[in-house]
Amino acid sequence: MKENFTPDYSYETAALNSGFSLVCGVDEAGRGPLAGPVFAAAVILPKECPEIEGLNDSKKLSEKKREALFDIIIEKAVAYKIASASVEEIEEYNILNATFLAMKRAVEGLPVAADYAIIDGNRLPELNIACSPLIKGDAKSLSVAAASILAKVARDRYITELDDKYPEYNFKKHKGYGTKVHTDAILKYGPCEIHRMSFLKKLLGDK
């Protein structure tokens, strides 16, 4: 049975009631694609009025809705930071550790330092503040949902800009994910410098 969640502020409130004062939600975007960096964002929402109409897991929203919420989140957040880990770092450290690196950069780059982080998923990056994992956090926590939107929109914009440099791959359409359009282009033209070679082993074989 599919579970339906609506993000709320209860996880943040629990942390605040435990004595923490600035709670951030953290999420990533781009673990699965065949190309481009992995992005992460950290967001501290105002505890007085954290609700933002329509705020939800970025995967449940249209591109147009995510773009609109991106600007609202940036305007209303106490603080936010968007960070990334490069293709080179993904190749060197693997995608999980590169994702943790992007998350760490996002949290530690906040202009207002958080003292507690809610991390989407079931594993934690090494942070210098207290933190807890939250499975499906982007569907349960308002702060994590906000972070998921910032990370997703920022990454999509970045990849779309690369379409001009690498028009043969049609990045603006698939954002680097392994669609047939994308894999057919890789097989035809070969990989480019922003492809994750470790992700292409099955596709390319011994080529």
Q: What's the pLDDT band for 1 if we cut at 50, 70, 90?
A: very low
pLDDT digits (tens, 9 = 90+) for 52-75: 888 888 888 999 999 999 999 999
**What burial class does residue 75 get, using C-beta atoms within 10 Å of its C-beta: 0-12 exposed, 13-18 middle, 19+ buried?**
exposed
pLDDT digits (tens, 9 = 90+) for 13-36: 999 999 999 999 999 999 999 999
Domain extents in the chain: 10-161, 167-204
Q: Which amino acid is at 98?
A: A
What is the pLDDT at residue 206? 61
Quick one: angle between helices 10-17 and 142-161, nearest 10? 120
What is the pLDDT at residue 86? 98
Rounded to two decimals, what is the model's pTM? 0.95
Find the mean pLDDT for residues 119-130: 96
pLDDT digits (tens, 9 = 90+) for 141-196: 999 999 999 999 999 999 999 999 999 999 999 999 999 999 999 999 999 999 99
Class for the domain spanning 10-161? alpha beta
What is the pLDDT at residue 110? 98
Find the mean pLDDT for residues 86-110: 98
DSSP H helices, 77-165, are 87-93, 95-108, 137-140, 142-161
- 130: tokens are 């207290």
What is the pLDDT at residue 114? 98
